[in-house]
Amino acid sequence: MKTAVIFNSKHGTAEKVANLIAERIGIEKTDVVNLKSQTIIDLSNYDTIILGGSVYVGTIQKSIFKFCEANQQELSNKKIALFICGMEPDPEKQELEIKNSFPAFAYEMAVVKKFMGGEILLEKMNFFEKMAIKKVAKISQSESNINYKAIDEFIEKLNYEK
């Protein structure tokens, strides 16, 4: 069977992480699905479902949460793993963001849950997003803190070889 990495990404960081996960699992064994372009997915083709997205102001994209809710019955028969991307530095708040990003059933049954770090990509933000980031985070240029070690740990916990 195969693995599906299902995600949504506002500025591309969750997509980057989803593709890195797929590469480490093995492209031939993995389908990467962006919920922005594909909302109907036949989950019967997969034994493992990896779900992820990026967090903005403590909230993941609604499409991820809704996808989980709409597919609860089928997901309950799969191996589930969850990831989020974000810039929160506090590990306790990171864990809370993961817990709040997915329905309780998905969070509880996930074999692995990881905070993968994130990026601030000013060049991909609209004017208002840039102004808010510059004011609140006091950031004047793009930055990345994707946690590649967390991606490796995520794969290891899923029992895939690197």
Domain span at 113: 2-157
Q: Does 153 map to a domain?
A: yes
Q: Chain-centre distance of CA 69, in angstroms?
A: 16
Q: Does 72 map to a domain?
A: yes
Residues forming a β-bridge with 54 = 85
Count of domains observed in the chain: 1
Cα 77 to Cα 96, 103, 111: the distances in Å are 25, 16, 13
Q: How is residue 55 written in tokens?
A: 């967090």
Instruction: Give me the CATH number covering residue 35.
Output: 3.40.50.360
113-131 burial, b at 16+ Cβ within 10 Å, e below that, comes to bbbbbbbbbbeebeeebbe
Tell me the pLDDT of the chain (162 aa) as tens digits.
799 999 998 777 899 999 999 999 987 889 999 998 887 899 999 999 999 998 876 678 788 999 999 999 999 999 999 999 988 888 999 899 999 999 999 999 999 999 998 766 556 666 666 666 656 666 666 666 789 999 999 999 987 543
Q: Does 162 map to a domain?
A: no
Q: Radius of gyration over alpha carbons of the chain, in Å?
A: 15
Q: Does 8 map to a domain?
A: yes
Q: How many residues does the chain have?
A: 162
Q: Does 37 map to a domain?
A: yes
**Which residue, among 110, 79, 54, 77, has the nearest Cα to 4 in the 3D structure?**
79
Q: Does 96 map to a domain?
A: yes
Q: Does 132 map to a domain?
A: yes
Q: Does 150 map to a domain?
A: yes
